[in-house]
Amino acid sequence: MTSHVQTADIIVVGAGSAGSVLAARLSETSSLRVLLIEAGAEPEDPRIADPAAWPFLQGSEVDWDYLTIPQQHMAMRTHPWPRGKVVGGSSAIHAMGHVRGHPADFDAWVQKGAHGWGWGDLLPYFKKSESSPFAGEAGYGLDGPIHLMQPDPPHPLTEVHRAAGQSLGLQRLRDHNGSDGMAGPTVNTLTIDNGRRQSVSDAYLTPDVRSRDNLMLYTGLTVDRLVFENERITGLIAHKAGEKVEYNARLGVLLCAGSIGTPMILMRSGLGPAGDLQKAGVVPRKDLPGVGGNLQDHLLSAGNVYRSCKIVPPTGTQHSESLTYIHAEGQPTDQAPELVVGCVTLPIVSEALLHDVEPPEPGSAYTLMFGITHPRSRGRLRITSADPDAKPSIDPAYLSHQTDRTHFIEALDWARALGATQAYSAWRGAEILPQRKDLVDTAAKLAFVEKAAFTHHHPVGTCQMGDAIDAVVSNDLTIYGVTGLWLCDGSIIPSLTTGPVNAAIVAVAERAADLLKDNFSDK
């Protein structure tokens, strides 16, 4: 039973990357009463602030702890899908990489009908959000809320990795966010401030922002469903510790619950594929086949492991301080690179390969992780019940597209080529993985990848924006056929960017804030 009703002008659901930005920016308008609700708690776990501790947050109480269904093209493995259940969302548990993406990534959004969300539209918002180590130079942010850094001095293996790429003809870059492009090795740009992780909520929901009279943040609230009045959203029902609470929104609801949470809330509210909703025991209100579809994620393979001739010193940041983006064979160089190889200062072995090798101790080995940046495989997310606490069915359909399989094998070859360069010779001991049996032919390499790869934690696209037949969101962030409801998070992104997606989500949210401020100005 619902205990009581509270009212705000706008309700923002989810205090993650997008929700933190939007709550902070919208509440700059003092006449607008903003309620921000978050299913998780405040970030009290000390490991959140420690950059090197991020892997240990997976499976903890600040993680939604999702699982995929068994993946047909990945040796029938199920994959953990960590997503942040805490103020800060996944920006409070991720690996802190800050990569804007390639301009062509955003041109692809426009080609899918997301007009107004191209590279030229979003560049000012990237700059607005950032305080870059290269501030003052064209193209970089000067005094934004998010403080960026590069490890200085870099880890010794970072310098080795950059030299290895250069020796194979790749351009050595200063960073992956500048005008020199993305193809080539460089030091990672990270969201670390004075040695501590800076989540998006740290950056935007500062004590001064939280003290605003017109901004309220409630934690520990899970949204059950949206409340309708005809075709208009007027609020939502949530629960906390078994008690239900109804919140009314005078202007509407802004869903920022992420690529998993947002489509789940929509489907529990009767907005989604009618057949899937009926199977889950939900009465369809509007048949929206695209909700939960177009699911895509970056895969990264933990495969190319080397025993080290030297002791590998512990990282000063987050274990992976360098990435190399690479164009696939035959790919035009003005396009976004399709391949990525990064040097990790730890031995990384997937659960499916533990029967083949015993993982070396930290400090005795390093890993060249490899992957692809623009997977063609598309999956689907479904709710399994009307119960808001029920886990969803997540099927990313990893490696279901032939191009993804081809590119992954090419990425493996690049990782091994980099690992075999003279630059690594002073460090390189025995190659532990892949083993000789994994390299006899293309089929063996693919079988190895299927066991070695896992999520790179970048799911997007489950409520894609644009004018495609399965699009869910229009360019003004409203859902087709529904009023009083806006979406802004990774779910609306039509296709993956090159590299981690958090920077792009923040830029999208910054632009969304300006659009919504204009929308609400006369209301």
- Residues acting as catalytic residues: 458
**Is cis: bond before 154, omega within 30 of 0?**
no
Nearest by Cα to 347 from 318, 317, 314, 305: 305
Phi-psi region of 57 (alpha: psi -120 to 50; beta: other; left: phi over 0): alpha
**Which are the contacts of 295, defined by CB distance < 8 A and separation ≥ 6?**
259, 378, 379, 380, 381, 394, 395, 396, 397, 459, 461, 462
> CB neighbours of 180 closer than 8 A, spacing ≥ 6?
171, 173, 174
Angle at CA 485, nearest 5°, toward 484 and 488?
Answer: 145
Gap between the Cα atoms of 454 and 440, Å rounded:
23
Burial of residue 389 (number of CB atoms within 10 Å: 0-12, 13-18, 19+)? exposed
Give the DSSP per-residue string, 12-67. EE--SHHHHHHHHHHTTSTTS-EEEEESSB----GGGT-GGGGGGGTTSTTB--EE
Comparing C-alpha atoms, which of 320, 289, 429 is closest to residue 52?
A: 320
**Considering all CA atoms of the chain, what is the largest pairwise distance in Å, rounded to the nearest integer?**
69
Instruction: Give me the amino acid identity at 411.
Output: A
Q: What are phi and psi of 331, to 5 degrees?
A: -80, 135
Q: d(Cα 422, Cα 351) in Å, to the nearest integer?
A: 31
